[in-house]
Structure 1
Amino acid sequence: MQSNLFQKLLFVFIFSSFFGKAAAQSNHILWYNQPADYFEESLVLGNGKMGATVFGGVNSDKIYLNDIMLWSGEPVNANMNPEGYKTLPAIREALKSENYKLAEELNKKIQGKNSESYSPLGTMEINNHHNGKATNYYRELDISKAISKVSYEIDGVKFTREYFVSAPDKIMVIRLTSSKKGTLNFDINSNSLLKFKTEFKDDLLSMNGSAPIHENPGYEVVPAFLSEKERGTRFTSLIKIKNTDGTITNSSSSLGLKNATEALIYVSIATSFNGFDKNPATEGLNDKAIALENLNKSFSKSFEKLKQSHLADYQKFYNRVTLNLGKTTAPNLPTDERLLRYSEGNEDNNLEVLYFNFGRYLLISSSRTLGVPANLQGLWNPHMNPPWSSNYTTNINLEENYWLAENTNLSEMHLPLLSFIKNLSVTGKVTAKTFYGVDQGWAAAHNSDIWAMTNPVGQFGKEEPMWACWNMAGAWLSTHIWEHYVFTQDKNYLKKEGYEIMKGASQFCLKWLVEDKNGDLITSPSTSPENQYITPDGFIGATIYGGTADLAMIRECFDKTIKASKVLNVDAEFRTKLETALSKLHPYQIGKKGNLQEWYFDWNDKDPKHRHQSQLFGLFPGDHITPLKTPDLAKACQTTLEIKGDETTGWSKGWRINLWARLWDGNRSYKMFRELLRYVDPDGKKTEKPRRGGGTYPNLFDAHPPFQIDGNFGGAAAVAEMLVQSNETEIRLLPALPDAWESGSVKGICARGGFEIAMEWNTKTLKKVTVFSKNGGKTTLICGDKNKEITLIKGQKKEIIW
């Protein structure tokens, strides 16, 4: 027995030494013992603008390249349907007379164009001229460093590749090495699904092209696209090799290296996008000059210097939060096998921490470009026609991307969304007037894109109102402005920019509301995102008045705008109007099943287990429904979730975990969190018994399916929500701690009021908490039936033994 144990330990030591990785199950490394065959097995890197998807092949290493600013289309004509609002009286009359079928048809007249698509920039391939079979293959992504590595042996020679995408140097760097002198032989080529041209000149392999000009006619694959001179966003990709030995080779379309021992590949990309309101062809940036400048600046620097700058920049964000969920007995397995084992119900606390850390990694990597937030796939899209155009779906998905920005200490990553909302408020003024007849404030609808499109979609009457005719995105998005303020206490931002945008969203809602027969304020027409009702006579539709989700979002929008006006001590008269309207909103209704009604009437859903749960907005991400303040409504939310069940898509499961956390049910949250980490096979993989549905792919990407990044972000946000919940006056510690996380610690989680929390717990009991105040202030700490009031000055830290 002792001999066997010694052999195992020796193997682990040798294995760890050879591959440079920790022997214990890691909470910050994804690793595999084979290259990726599918996108959902690849490892992704990004600096918030440039994205790289690395497959890590032996003979051919494929790397997809993305630039977050490369989209189809050009600035939107917000005035596309100048008389759309003229149909509103007829819709309202049809609803009043209970002719829901007519209302549904008329609602289609209040539609505009669909969004544009996020485009793939290109693919670079490193073709290695190997002879022989690879052994000891190893591939990893270290998310504590944002560095990926590949290593393998062929005929006794060890080959390695190391990749990162630097934010400070705006470049991707790949280092290739071989353990035997002169055995490194490879060439590189570039191509794109877009219109492009490659050439080799001055030691540079360049690829230039342009994104298409087209309106996506639906979510279907289009075989061709329209490309016109002086229209569309241009792009440039530049690749250059720095070698210490060997000979650089080239052809008209490739760049290579012969008989070398070590080499660096520098990759620089840029686009001509110059803002949502500027023509990228005629008013665009000089993409060629930008890409070349970034390349030349980086090329003069050593690999170590570039790496040090990259690490210093990335880790100042990543290292702010550390999470420990207790001891683990899980064996040390590759990440895909580890996920499979976990899916079978086995314990792996460090995998849960890894998933949380990975969510933060993805946000840092995909959200650092002002005005261009992370999209449905974050930053990483290999498709000419990505699912749902990889756009900004604003009835949940875009917002869910940012649920972890403030509470997991990544406030800077929230700024791309906040600046995008400002862009929406510009085009949204035209949308409010022309589609909805409202001459104050701004509105946004179900989809948007890099051009800040705000109109309701649907191809001018061709799509179903259940998803196309929804106009509450402004109300929802404006609450992110308040969240940013209340976490950071950045009064300057609120005063100079944020409050006016919030006010504009409230102004639209105030004018959009009408009275029902009881004198209550409602919206008309209304829809509940992507869901349908069944009337008592059997009609299935989506167009209604006074939808619960609309009113929940308006409640939250008004409440936060009122608070912001009080903080700034402005607009007392307007504040009074909001307070009056808030008191007159049609109240929540509890249905005959004990559920929180989704519709104005107690009608059944066409799909009782529908993935959207928009009527629960007031519970999460809103905060006006709570188990303490509104116990009856909280109970109705719980009943609604019970009726819907736990089986749903990836992003929806992420939302439900947060909802259960807000109901302080840690074990139910944890059950669903485990289900979110259920192993799902890559979409294109054919197996005898494929594992499909919502869950997690081998590379830890969220399976909607297909891949949507919002589930990753929603799931990571939920972990923080289970541990800390807060409002402007109190911080609730361990409010939804599951039995499985009996002992643990967390450091760096943020709370509203500008506080940062570190705490330790054991046997489900809080032992110690440290509170740091960024700006000074007071709050009440609550855990179980104990509470403690604390007041801190700016920069003060207080430790409390609980």
Structure 2
Amino acid sequence: MNRFSLSLLFAMKRTLKDFLVVGATISRWNVAGLLLAGIVIHFPVRAGEWVIRDDQAAGQWDRAYPVGNGRLGAMPLGTFPAEKILINEETIWNRTDTFGMPEDSHRHLEEVRRLESAGDFSGADRYFEEHLQNAKDPCGYQLVGWLHLEYLNAAPVKRIQRELDLKTGISKSIYTLEDGTEIVQKVIASGPDDVIAVMISSNKAIGLKTSLDDGVIEDGDIVRRGAASGEGATEFVGRVRVLPADKTSPMGNTLEIKSCKEISIFLSAATNFDRSNSEARLPTGWQAKALRDLDRLRAKSTAEVLRAAVRDHHHFFDRVDVDLGQSPESVLALTTKERLKRVKAGKTDDPDLIETYFQFGRYLLIASSRPGCFPANLQGLWNPHLSAPWGADYHLNINIQMNYWLAETTNLSETHRPLFDLIRYFQPRGKEMARQLGMKGWCMGHATDIWGNAQIMSRTAFWGGSFFGGQWMTFHILEHYRFNRDEEFLGENWDILTASAEFVESWLIPGPEQGQLMARPSCSPENSFVYTNSSGKDARAALSSGNTFDQFMILQVFNDYLEAAEALGKQNDPFVKKIRATLAKVYQPQIAEDGRLMEWRLPFRENEPGHRHISHVIGAYPGNQINLDRDPRMRDAVMKSIEGRLNRGGAGTGWSRAWTIGMFARLSDSERAYENLMSLLEKSTLDNLFDSHPPFQIDGNFGATAAIAEMLLHSHNDEIKLLPALPDRWHRGYVRGLRARGDYTVDIQWNEGALTSSTLHAGKHATGSVSVVYNNEKINIEMVPGTSLKLSLNDLRSAKQ
């Protein structure tokens, strides 16, 4: 069967909801039409497919349905007759004092090292907290405000239906009134036009009044001028225009339409944030962007704006298609929260919900991380608070990294770019922090903000004692290269990789073990241990030396650097040679007497045996310093470590559970990966499928989506492994468009739990030679870049024979 036929089958199998055909939105109650090669294929629309639905207004903001274009975000609550829509712009952050390490930080660091070396771990913690860390929080993310809609003289509402169509990026509220009026309110964030659009249609003429927090009428628009809190914080302007203009009248600080069936509201925003320099501000005139963005729409109809936005969304979203099985029609008819309740009741017959959850993670990354924008923060793009949980900032000891674990595997490579831009943006202050510590290169604290503040910002050593957050971010540079094989990209970032390796190399000191190098001080992020102090009493501390997390960080940074040097032909550079020689001396993490991977170099007792962080297994996933397929001793140690955490109450937060799913997927343990995925849906997922830390924190969505991809495809060890952790309950299905390292795109089909076929598509930088593995059956193939090759199960079996 050729690729066109397969695509046709996929299209026939996957029914579409609100599919946009030449600008016409097809309702789920109608028959959908799909035009392919001049042939119109009709099929009924499945109500629940990749659509998140509710039959009530969102009682809280984090139950609303988000839309975003990377820079602008919106969340309509779906309330009637008084609707509220949250509006965000990614650069609106508060500002406090400029942070920086004290000039004598290196002297204090040496004292911490002395205390730790003497075995006074608690003393090292106290000195660290008194002299090296600053008990300030990073600056926080804030909001433009709320857009208010008041439906005038409306009959009582009879029924509310809300939905988010992941395929189109449209958040829709349908209000059915007791007098027969039906109002459809659509909200979308347009990438091409850089506006939030609210499109309202009704079968009867309606009245509407709209306002924006503290906005005033200027030249027919509602304009809000404001600033985030703190001196030097972001200044912004939000601008709202209502159409049709000839039926719109100003009423105080609102715009009002008295009688109309079709109403469009467009919102634009601009800030004075300078994306190239956090110390600077854009010159006067930056406000004009908001007006220009609205004025450009004069040449377009609302339908054209909608079509362009949906087409732009499709460009990213449509790359991956997935079918994990058929959910009963009775289940598909339920709202999303009712389906989640079934999961909590132990039901496992709804694979479509998992498909939707997977695609929701991809949707959120598309909405909150576009080229030219800043990366997704702790809440992605959406925040109603002046003081958000954890500031909705950038945490560098797992969270921002987990946000991007899905970027390459789920075919959203461009959305990874904002993270690389942020690493570049962090360089000046990160280098200053390293200098103040007496080191080379660059580093960051465990958390930072849009201003790039580089300092140890914490109140305790077990938070602040993480010095390799910046280095963890650079892992992603090599991962992006491994998937795309773009040497130009690698060359552009060679200076960052060098600065990262420079810091690590200068940070290392000789350990007690002869000839071995290790990190001192070092902590296992946000965890602490119990030891016997000099008085013979139990004491708790966080700082030690050579802990497993830091040692795997060192190994990863050095090996990544050498891999990049090999790709760029820089193997003989003097510093590359130095790193190669240093690598051989780095202390290697060990296995404890009970068979678990040691979290600390010394056999300390765990203060929290069920701690949420599992940072010491980073060498296995998402890192690649532990070969789980070829090192059975270390594999067992990692497995026992994860089991130990879970048996003692671990994975208590959404993102921690997501990491656990990914670990079991990397271990090819299909049933425990599935078990933890269901636990995530049961315990850490809100009604709109947002991840709950608690409260809402977006990294769990991203991490779990990456983990589902990891269940279906591995591509480390220079192998493409098909269905490595396929659960028994996904006994029939397919996935199309997942990405594999080496610049390959992979389609997989299976039936009755067994592979039926797979197609590999080699990109323009593809390695050409690749091994494909399924169920211990392996075939080595040669591919010309730009070509495709279909493999059947018989092909793999024949190769084995």
TM-score by length of 1: 0.90
For 1:481 and 1:588, how far apart are their aligned partners in 2?
24
For 1:202 and 1:767, how far apart are their aligned partners in 2?
63
1:473 aligns with 2:469: yes
Cα deviation, residue 74, structure 1? 7.6
Question: Residues 425 and 589 (structure 1 numbering): CA distance in 2 closer, same or farther, change over 3 Å?
Answer: same
| 8 A Cα contact 1:171 1:298, kept in partner | no
Counterparts of 1:142-181 in structure 2, within 5 Å, are: 142-154=165-177, 155-180=179-204
Cα deviation, residue 580, structure 1? 2.2
Tell me the equivalent position of 2:668: 664
Kindly provide the amino acid, as one letter, of the partner of residue 797 in structure 1.
S
Kindly provide the amino acid, as one letter, of the partner of residue 686 in structure 2.
Y
Selected match of 2:388 from 386, 389, 392: 386
Counterparts of 1:178-327 in structure 2, within 5 Å, are: 178-180=202-204, 183-191=205-213, 197-213=214-230, 228=231, 231-243=232-244, 247-275=247-275, 277-279=277-279, 281=281, 283-284=282-283, 286-327=285-326
Selected match of 1:53 from 75, 89, 98: 75
| 8 A Cα contact 1:371 1:420, kept in partner | no
Tell me the equivalent position of 1:648: 652
Question: Residues 22 and 377 (structure 1 numbering): CA distance in 2 closer, same or farther, change over 3 Å?
Answer: farther
Cα deviation, residue 331, structure 1? 4.3
Question: Residues 15 and 345 (structure 1 numbering): CA distance in 2 closer, same or farther, change over 3 Å?
Answer: farther
Counterparts of 1:333-344 in structure 2, within 5 Å, are: 333-344=334-345
Tell me the equivalent position of 1:73: 95
For 1:476 and 1:782, how far apart are their aligned partners in 2?
30
SS at match of 1:212: coil
Question: Residues 733 and 235 (structure 1 numbering): CA distance in 2 closer, same or farther, change over 3 Å?
Answer: same
Tell me the equivalent position of 1:780: 771
Tell me the equivalent position of 1:533: 529
Q: CA RMSD in A?
A: 1.9
Tell me the equivalent position of 1:514: 509
For 1:640 and 1:235, how far apart are their aligned partners in 2?
48
For 1:354 and 1:368, how far apart are their aligned partners in 2?
21
Question: Residues 328 and 153 (structure 1 numbering): CA distance in 2 closer, same or farther, change over 3 Å?
Answer: closer
Tell me the equivalent position of 1:28: 50
| 8 A Cα contact 2:651 2:660, kept in partner | no
Tell me the equivalent position of 1:122: 145
| 8 A Cα contact 2:99 2:455, kept in partner | no
Deviations 1:422-474 (A, max 9, x none): 1122211111110x211x2111120011112222113xxxx101002211112
Kindly provide the amino acid, as one letter, of the partner of residue 127 in structure 2.
L
Kindly provide the amino acid, as one letter, of the partner of residue 724 in structure 1.
L
| 8 A Cα contact 1:19 1:138, kept in partner | no
633-642 or 396-405, larger mean C-alpha shift = 633-642
SS at match of 2:353: helix
| 8 A Cα contact 2:757 2:790, kept in partner | yes
For 2:679 and 2:597, how far apart are their aligned partners in 1?
25
Unaligned runs of 5+ in 2: 1-25, 33-42, 794-801
Tell me the equivalent position of 2:499: 504
For 1:87 and 1:239, how far apart are their aligned partners in 2?
53
For 2:269 and 2:27, how far apart are their aligned partners in 1?
37
Tell me the equivalent position of 1:688: none
For 1:735 and 1:467, how far apart are their aligned partners in 2?
35
Cα deviation, residue 76, structure 1? 4.5
Tell me the equivalent position of 1:139: 162
Kindly provide the amino acid, as one letter, of the partner of residue 633 in structure 2.
D
SS at match of 2:493: helix
1:376 aligns with 2:378: yes
Cα deviation, residue 590, structure 1? 1.3
Tell me the equivalent position of 2:692: 703
| 8 A Cα contact 1:370 1:420, kept in partner | no
For 1:508 and 1:285, how far apart are their aligned partners in 2?
39
| 8 A Cα contact 2:763 2:785, kept in partner | yes
Tell me the equivalent position of 1:758: 747
Cα deviation, residue 575, structure 1? 2.4
Deviations 1:81-127 (A, max 9, x none): 12111112211111121111211111122224531101111011101
Counterparts of 1:79-90 in structure 2, within 5 Å, are: 80-90=101-111
| 8 A Cα contact 1:773 1:796, kept in partner | yes
Selected match of 1:363 from 365, 368, 372: 365
SS at match of 1:589: coil
Tell me the equivalent position of 2:582: 581
| 8 A Cα contact 2:462 2:543, kept in partner | yes
For 1:249 and 1:417, how far apart are their aligned partners in 2?
44
| 8 A Cα contact 1:27 1:357, kept in partner | no
Question: Residues 15 and 238 (structure 1 numbering): CA distance in 2 closer, same or farther, change over 3 Å?
Answer: closer
Deviations 1:297-347 (A, max 9, x none): 024310111111111111011000001102222342011111111221211
For 2:522 and 2:457, how far apart are their aligned partners in 1?
15
Deviations 1:736-781 (A, max 9, x none): 1111111210000000000000010112211111000112322111
Unaligned runs of 5+ in 1: 1-13, 192-196, 214-227, 679-693
Tell me the equivalent position of 1:447: 447
Kindly provide the amino acid, as one letter, of the partner of residue 203 in structure 2.
S
For 2:249 and 2:30, how far apart are their aligned partners in 1?
32
For 1:507 and 1:606, how far apart are their aligned partners in 2?
33
For 1:147 and 1:75, how far apart are their aligned partners in 2?
40
For 2:138 and 2:256, how far apart are their aligned partners in 1?
40
| 8 A Cα contact 1:87 1:110, kept in partner | yes
| 8 A Cα contact 1:595 1:637, kept in partner | yes
Kindly provide the amino acid, as one letter, of the partner of residue 174 in structure 1.
V
Question: Residues 278 and 75 (structure 1 numbering): CA distance in 2 closer, same or farther, change over 3 Å?
Answer: farther
Deviations 1:338-391 (A, max 9, x none): 111122121100000000000000000000153610000000001110000110
| 8 A Cα contact 1:29 1:143, kept in partner | yes
Cα deviation, residue 244, structure 1? 7.8
| 8 A Cα contact 2:99 2:454, kept in partner | no
For 1:52 and 1:454, how far apart are their aligned partners in 2?
30
For 2:531 and 2:411, how far apart are their aligned partners in 1?
46
Kindly provide the amino acid, as one letter, of the partner of residue 392 in structure 2.
S
Tell me the equivalent position of 1:223: none
1:675 aligns with 2:696: no
Question: Residues 276 and 614 (structure 1 numbering): CA distance in 2 closer, same or farther, change over 3 Å?
Answer: farther
For 1:140 and 1:22, how far apart are their aligned partners in 2?
19
For 1:467 and 1:77, how far apart are their aligned partners in 2?
17
1:328 aligns with 2:327: yes
| 8 A Cα contact 1:446 1:467, kept in partner | yes
Cα deviation, residue 419, structure 1? 0.7
Tell me the equivalent position of 1:103: 124
SS at match of 2:158: strand
Question: Residues 212 and 432 (structure 1 numbering): CA distance in 2 closer, same or farther, change over 3 Å?
Answer: same
For 2:284 and 2:418, how far apart are their aligned partners in 1?
19
Aligned-residue sequence identity (percent) comes to 32
Selected match of 1:403 from 402, 405, 420: 405
Cα deviation, residue 632, structure 1? 1.1
1:92 aligns with 2:113: yes
Cα deviation, residue 158, structure 1? 1.5
Deviations 1:248-282 (A, max 9, x none): 2223321111122211111111111112634455x
Cα deviation, residue 543, structure 1? 1.1
Tell me the equivalent position of 1:590: 591
Cα deviation, residue 285, structure 1? 6.8
SS at match of 2:29: helix
For 1:648 and 1:19, how far apart are their aligned partners in 2?
44
Selected match of 1:17 from 22, 29, 46: 29
1:744 aligns with 2:733: yes
